Structure 1
Amino acid sequence: MTSPAYDTPETLRIVTLNCWGLKYIAKYRNERLTEIGNQLARSDPAPDIVGLQECWTQQDYLAIREKTRHILPYGKFYYSGIFGGGLAILSRWPIEESSMYRYPLNGRPSAFFRGDWFVGKGVACARIRYGSGRKDVAEVFCTHLHAPYEREPNDSYLCHRTAQAWEMAKLLRHAAERGHLVISLGDFNMVPLSLAHRIIETHSPVRDVWRLLRPNSSLGAASQPAERRRGRKVPTAEDNLEVNGATCDSCLNTWRWSKPLRKRLNRGEDVVVELDTEDPKAKRLDYIFFSCGEKSPRAAGDVDSDGGREDDAAGPEWTVESANVGMTGRHPTLKCSLSDHFSVEATLWRRNHQLQPTVSTATDASAFPRADTAHSARLPVAVYDEILELIRTYNLREVRQRKVRLAHFVAQVTLAVGCLVGVWWAPRNYVAFLLMLWSTLGLSAGVIDGLIGGLFVGSELRALWEFEWEVRTAREAALLLEEKKKLEG
């Protein structure tokens, strides 16, 4: 069965949004996500590809699909983990293939109150054919990286998020090598030029669309050390929207307001925050990355093995036309923000690769990503050493955890046997009951801890060893590259 033919578009409009659709927890979930669908449907220009995160339920996904079906007739809700990954992709064109890739390092089951492990975080992958050419294919990767529960570098999950960025970079690099347009979007839970951000931009040919257009935008919240060192004044809410691309913790977002302001809003008062209000906590956690794919070295017009022309096989080139923060409006009746994040929206423009590229006023032509030049880049050796030290430290932590959990299991088994023996000499029925209850509860906790220590931590350590091997291999390549540069210099 052949795919239907489409006229190749000159532009692609891409949107990513963390919907904050936690079932039973997120307030006004149904109303907010339905309105998100309404606003997507009314967008001008209309989106062509939309990536959603924290869209946890089929009900909310279908509500958004119903509102947007006339502009985004195709979609995929992705299943993962115990409670679902919360990821979805909507498209103007058919999704030819899809897969859900779960990260090997993905949180810990013992942190049940956080839930990252239970939702099976990973990458929702979709292959979308947007034109009639053989290489008119977009490979879309939607993700939600592990949340930072402490400030870096003291975040105990930093190693997990770094490994997830590494896995994402591999997926993007492989897609670009197939010569396709590569689009990566989602809530990455990282700030610009952080370790995870640098891994993605160095170990794959993609680039952050916001920094392509606004290379001097902030590196995090104004209150964070990296931004304070730049010596800039505290940005206003408008600056954070227009210049810094802040999508989270904005003073304009009602879910980040103080309790007194939210109480006023709950009483029905339409509270307005002025755009010139100082906004020291806002930061950018949501991203759109892209790469235009790799060109074939063969001559234009050559016939390939399956009968296609090489001018079809050479992937089209794309540049960034515009990028903006969206979904900043409020619900029309509830007056609350539609999510605890704002969206990132970008327009890519298709250019004829035979012509000289149009250069953005914010950057030069060399800044636009090309898979055939960017994929060979390496981080400095010191950065790989930093990652290896991060892995070593986390590995030691997990080895200690494993010993403690297995020791707890053995202790609880011993205690349970002791309680059962004690029942024989219990002077009263209630004493026997308490011994049995203690034995049962203690043994249950011990068995759970034993399973986590013996099985999960073992699996986690093996994933760490794989990650470490890949980083060491990349470090060796970077070391050879540095030595080569020294010899040439």
Structure 2
Amino acid sequence: MTVPSDAVSNVSEAPQDPTLRVLSLNCWGLKYISTHRAARLSEIGRQIASLDPPPNIVGLQECWTQADYLAIRDLTSHILPYGKFYHSGIFGGGLVILSKWEIEESSMYRYPLNGRPAAFYRGDWYVGKGVACARIRFGRGRKDVVEVFCTHLHAPYEKEPYDDYLCHRTAQAWEIAKKMRHARERGHVVIGLGDFNMLPSSLAHRLVETHGGVRDVWRLRKPNSALGAWEDGHAGAEEGAACPHVEHCISEHGATCDSQLNTWRWSKTMRKDLGKGRDTVIAPHTADPRAKRLDYVFFSPGENRAGTWQVSDVRVGMTGRHPELRCSLSDHFSVETVIERVTETDQVEDEPTEYLPLSTYDEILAMTRKYTLRERTQRTLRLGHFGFQIAMSVGCLIGVWWSPRNYVAFILMVLSSVGLSVGVLEGLMGGLFVGSEERALREFEWEIENARKLASKAIEEREKAGQGNVKIDDVAVP
């Protein structure tokens, strides 16, 4: 089957009242690192193509190679004839958007705060994480447009609030929230999806919903779902102190990550046995203390669409295994939702609030300033290391003149070369990268201060108008 190009001009007539069936999946497709990458991603394409009814908008994360993208396009082109593979960073952003309808406009926005080059073993900075944006027309009306935002936020390497990259992920959540809010203000339907690497009701989650003017579709349908892993002290309201089981974590709590059902989360012994053909059956009622939700679909009908759309279904999907390898298709499960147009008499969810509590803005500012001080210290240390390595390199070269043996001269030359190389890298990171990061932090800090000022002004104006308490992000502010 021939795969259509990214820019396809032939488009079938779009229905006036479509149902948006959306799927988001982190494919775990790291080149040279992910096990059985090509086989798994091809099977992901086959399973997407076999869904009934089929999705009409798909967002993929960690689809790093063109070969994997083209394999999925080839398998799904009969239901998703339009698609875009997004390029970013040194190794690529890993983001893909597939659509039933034509992509009218597309862009890739790279996050200003995006990890550190020194953490090369983590790779977040090198892949250029950002937001893949696609404007898709699903009908003939002027406002029959859905703007899709697919992202993969910076990974957490420690639990909040001890995560060194919490500031980066918070700033990234703010950036995608701005883009979704702008689309909403244009009156377009908004879909934000991806691996956000955050827990429900966390700081980043509240930023996305409140500042973006969008709603988490899972929380809309299942408001009592868990806010995180049971072992971390989170549980749904109906669970109490009991550890939820596998089936309940998936069906009620939306667990897309660290599920006992996912073979990539099994112990080394269990994975080794699976590779030898000895499978392990996970009973549906097995306790699942680590399962949590990191993958999301956010939705807004747009300012001109209030009262015309509703989320009719949401589920975790792609929980099956590869038919031959018997491994899970990815280290994440997919999140799938159905969003339907409704009549004016149907019940419509409340619009999200516009501002966060003032204390939340203060929390973000305190976190940003603390991180800024950390980076300034890092810059001083790195520049100091640069100066030391230059001095050591010069000292080694001078020492060559008086070296009594050739092998001593060789050792000094090696030390000089290695020291100079390390020093130059430290100087570049301290002098250039940290400076760039600090300027990005200043911009983020100004935007938070400005948002806080607007929130405070809105409270004062409504109080003067005699409206009493103002509801801000589910917190009554007197």
> Which TM-score bucket, shorter chain as reference?
over 0.9
Rounded to whole Å, the distance in 2 between the matches of 1:72 and 1:2 is 13
Query: How far is the alpha carbon of 1:228 from its aligned partner?
Result: 9.4
Per-residue CA deviation, residues 158-178 of structure 1 (Å, 9 max, x unaligned), is 000000000011000000111
Partner of 2:318: 327
Name the CA distance, whole Å, in 2 between partners of 1:458 and 1:317. 47
What displacement does 1:69 show?
Answer: 0.7
1:7: how far off? Answer: 2.0
Aligned-residue offset at 1:205: 1.4
- Give me the whole-angstrom Cα distance separating, in 2, the residues matched to 1:263 and 1:401: 42
AA of the residue aligned to 2:246 = A
Question: Within 5 A, what are the aligned runs for 1:165-204?
Answer: 165-204=173-212
User: What residue in structure 1 maps to residue 392 of structure 2?
Assistant: 415
Matches of 2:321 and 2:308 in 1, distance apart?
37
Shift of 1:315: 8.2
The residue type equivalent to 1:17 in the other structure is L
* Structure 1 portions without partners, runs of 5+: 296-313, 360-364
Kindly provide the amino acid, as one letter, of the partner of residue 234 in structure 1. C
The letter for the 2-side match of 1:251 is Q
Which one of 264, 268, 272 corresponds to residue 259 of structure 1? 268
Shift, 1:32, TM fit: 0.4
Change (3 A) 1:485 1:225: farther
Aligned twin of 1:43: 51
In the alignment, the residues of structure 1 paired with residue 369 and residue 235 of structure 2 have an alpha-carbon distance, to the nearest angstrom, of: 29
Distance 1:45 1:190 in 2: 29
Aligned equivalents of 2:138 and 2:457: distance in 1?
Answer: 40
| In 2: Cα distance, 1:127 partner to 1:387 partner | 31
Offset at 1:383?
A: 0.5
Give the corresponding residue for 1:338. 329
Query: Is 1:481 equivalent to 2:458 in the alignment?
Result: yes
Is the CA contact (8 Å cut-off) linking 1:179 and 1:315 kept in structure 2? no
Give the conservation status (yes or no) of the 8 Å contact 2:227–2:236. no
2:248 counterpart of 1:248: no
SS at match of 1:471: helix
What is the total number of aligned residue pairs between the two structures? 457
Q: 1:215 aligns with which of 223, 239, 246?
A: 223
* Counterpart Cα distance in 1 of 2:180 and 2:68: 29
Pairwise CA distance, 1:8: 2.2
Give how far 1:260 is off.
Answer: 2.1
1:356 equivalenced with 2:342 (yes/no): no
* 1:277 aligned partner: 286
Q: Residues 362-389 of structure 1, C-alpha deviation per residue, up to 9 Å, x if partnerless?
A: xxx343x4xxxx4x61111110110001
Q: CA deviation at 1:271?
A: 2.0
Structure 2 segments unaligned to the other structure (5+ residues): 1-8, 469-478
Structure 1 position 257, deviation (Å): 0.5
1:4-60: CA deviation from partner (whole Å, max 9, x where unpaired): 642224311000000000101100001100000000000011000000000000000
**Contact 1:293 1:317 (C-alpha < 8 Å) held by counterparts:** no
Amino acid at match of 2:447: E
Cross-structure match for 2:369? 392
Query: What amino acid is the match of 2:345?
Result: Q
Alpha-carbon contact 2:144-2:188 (below 8 Å) kept: yes
**282, 296, 303: which one aligns with 1:294:** 303
Say which SS state the counterpart of residue 60 (structure 1) adopts: helix
Deviation of 1:259 (Å)? 1.8
Q: CA deviation at 1:149?
A: 0.3
SS in 2 for 1:46: coil
SS in 2 for 1:16: strand
Question: What's the CA shift for 1:480?
Answer: 2.3
- 1:125 counterpart residue number: 133
Query: 1:223 is paired with a residue of what secondary structure?
Result: helix
TM-score of the superposed pair, with normalisation by structure 2? 0.93
Query: Is the 1:21–1:33 Cα contact (8 Å) retained in structure 2?
Result: yes
Q: Quick one: distance in 1 between partners of 2:206 and 2:249?
A: 22
Question: Offset of 1:226 from its aligned partner?
Answer: 4.4
TM-superposed deviation, 1:413: 0.8
TM-score by length of 1: 0.91
1:435 match: 412
1:381 corresponds to 2:375: no
Contact 2:225 2:236 in 1 (8 A): no
CA distance in structure 2 between the aligned counterparts of 1:180 and 1:3, rounded to whole angstroms:
20
**1:4-43, aligned counterparts within 5 Å?**
5-43=13-51
1:459 aligned residue (431, 436, 453): 436
Residues of 1 paired with 2:11 and 2:319: CA distance?
A: 37
Q: 2:218·2:314 contact (CA, 8 Å) conserved in 1?
A: yes
SS at match of 1:50: strand
Q: Give 3-state SS (helix, strand or coil) of 1:156's partner.
A: coil
- Between stretches 406-415 and 263-272, larger displacement belongs to 263-272
Moved more, 6-15 or 188-197: 6-15
Aligned residue type for 1:197: H
- Measure, in 2, the Cα distance between the counterparts of 1:132 and 1:67: 28
- Equivalent position of 1:317 in the other structure: 308
The whole-number CA distance in structure 1 between the counterparts of 2:166 and 2:341 is: 37
Query: Partners of 2:396 and 2:291 in 1: how far apart?
Result: 55
Picking from 128, 136, 151, the partner of 1:143 is: 151
Query: 155, 166, 171: which one pairs with 1:163?
Result: 171
Provide the C-alpha distance between the structure 2 equivalents of 1:366 and 1:200, rounded to a whole number of angstroms.
Answer: 17
The partner residue of 1:237 within 241, 246, 249 is 246
Rounded to whole Å, the distance in 2 between the matches of 1:419 and 1:46 is 67
1:68-98 superposed Cα distances (whole Å, 9 cap, x missing partner): 0110011000000000000000000111110
User: Which whole-Å CA distance do the structure 1 matches of 2:321 and 2:410 have between them?
Assistant: 56
Contact 1:181 1:315 in 2 (8 A): no
Alignment match, 1:92: 100
Structure 2 distance, partners of 1:286, 1:423, is 58
